[in-house]
Structure 1
Amino acid sequence: MKTKIYMDNEKLIAGITLKDASMPEDGNMALHSCTDPSLILQNRSLLAASIGCDLNQFVCANQTHSSNFYKVTRDDLGRGAASKETAIQNTDALYTYEPDIALCTFTADCVPVILYDHSSGLVGVIHSGWQGTIKEITLKMIDYLKQNETCDPKNLYIHIGAAISQEKFEVDQDVYDQFKNLGYADEYMYFNEKTNKYHISNQQTVKRQCELAGVPSAHITIDETCTYINNEGFSYREDKKAGRHLTFVMKKQ
């Protein structure tokens, strides 16, 4: 089981799984995009063991490119871990204050976001594909935490995980216009005259959303690995049948 650990200290562990040809289904972690669900559960169980928990401590959502988020409690333990049907429905971001719950999000080019509040102990994950970025899911969730969970954005630390690079994320006018309408993404886009396509950095746009929500720039890190180019990346743009990375965060006791 190949994983890239982004954070591992006395308070939390967080990281992302990687594509691995030696693993069942190349290390795919997604029940919604697989050939054999039993192999996905095998992969998930290996991940759980590697980070010091059981599979029934995973909590997963049925991601729909929405701007919806959900507060996870101990009552949610195991939701979506072994079955799509038990996942938290129509949700693309999860957060919790509870220890020993592995919050999970699935991506193959989309931007995974991990957040941690060093004051309150809150942890969270966000799935921000380009549609989620247009809907400002990250900005909205941080604003919600600020207003409803007494979370000070200055105490947040954000890690933006591996995703498709600006070089490989090429779009037509309609998607460009939606990013343009955000009013703050212009510097993260360029036009390629040879291909008549626009190129957008979804990661940098998400970073800007964090900054607009009040997170200090110094508290934001980015994994610039391109999931399209890198052979350890799952890329939906490269292969519509691609598996998925699992990005996780778990607060420790």
Structure 2
Amino acid sequence: MKTKLYINNENLIAGMTMKEETELEMNNMALHACENPDNIIINRKKLAASLQCELASFVCANQTHSDNFYKVTLQDTGRGSEQLETAIQDTDALYTYEPNIVLCSFTADCVPVIFRNEKTGLIGVIHSGWQGTVKEITKKLFNHLIQVEQCDPKDFHVQIGAALSQEKFEVDEDVYLKFKGLGYADEFMYFNDATYKYHIDNQLTVQKQLELADIPADQIEIDQTCTFKDPNGFSYREDRQCGRHLSFIVRKSD
């Protein structure tokens, strides 16, 4: 199974599954965008085995391009792992302090954000498509973690996963104006005179949101793989019927 591992040590495993032609539905991990749910369960079980855990330890959300986030507890273990109906509803970011829970996020061009707090053991995932970025889901979640969960921003390490590149993320003026309205995204956009389209770097905009929440810049990593250009990427822009990557993080019990 093709998986990009961003962290793999005795305490944490975090990464992102990639497209693979030899797997069912090319290693699609999404129940909400599949040909046969049984194929997705098989793929997820393979991933679980590679993480040395059970699929029942996965927690998934029903993502809606919102700015909603959710604190996962032990009672949520297994939600959305085998059925869409049990997923955490209307949520695009998950975090937890609990060990042995695999937090999951699904993307195909959108920006996946995977994070950990070195001091508290808190871990989390964010799904930030352009709509989530404009709603500032990442900035809002980290402000919540700092203010409500009393986390020190200097203790966070963040991985921004593979997503649609600026070259391939071309939009019309309506989307451009939404990003411009943020007040800090101008340097991440340009206008293409030949096509009359704007090009936006969603990853760098998300990185800026992290920095605005006082996350140290040198503790933010960006995977520059473009999901459109890379043959291992699922791209909704390229194919509306495509599968989804699964970005994940799990902290192992002591």
Coarse TM-score class (shorter-chain normalised): over 0.9
Report 1:221-240 matches (<5 A): 221-240=221-240
Q: Describe the SS at the equivalent of 1:79.
A: coil
> Deviation of residue 52 (structure 1)?
1.1
Deviations 1:109-154 (A, max 9, x none): 0000001000101000000000000000000000000111111111
TM-score, structure 1 as length reference: 1.00
Indicate yes or no: 2:41 matched with 1:41. yes
Q: Describe the SS at the equivalent of 2:15.
A: strand
Q: What's 1:153 paired with?
A: 153
Indicate yes or no: 2:104 matched with 1:143. no
Q: Describe the SS at the equivalent of 1:205.
A: helix
Q: Which amino acid aligns with 1:107?
A: T
Distance 2:121 2:8 in 1: 14
- The count of aligned residue pairs is 253
Q: What's 2:107 paired with?
A: 107
Indicate yes or no: 2:197 matched with 1:197. yes
Report 1:1-253 matches (<5 A): 1-253=1-253
> Deviation of residue 9 (structure 1)?
1.3
Q: Describe the SS at the equivalent of 1:174.
A: helix
Distance 1:138 1:252 in 2: 25
Distance 2:120 2:99 in 1: 12
Distance 1:187 1:226 in 2: 19
Distance 1:179 1:11 in 2: 37
> Deviation of residue 10 (structure 1)?
2.0
Q: Which structure 1 residue ranges, 4+ long, deviate > 4 Å from structure 2?
A: none
Q: Describe the SS at the equivalent of 2:113.
A: strand
* Percentage of pairs with the same residue: 63
Q: Which amino acid aligns with 2:238?
A: E
Q: Which amino acid aligns with 1:220?
A: I
TM-score, structure 2 as length reference: 0.99
Q: Describe the SS at the equivalent of 1:99.
A: coil
Unaligned runs of 5+ in 1: none
Let me know the Cα RMSD of the aligned residues.
0.4
> Deviation of residue 210 (structure 1)?
0.2
Distance 1:83 1:40 in 2: 10
Q: Which amino acid aligns with 1:22?
A: T
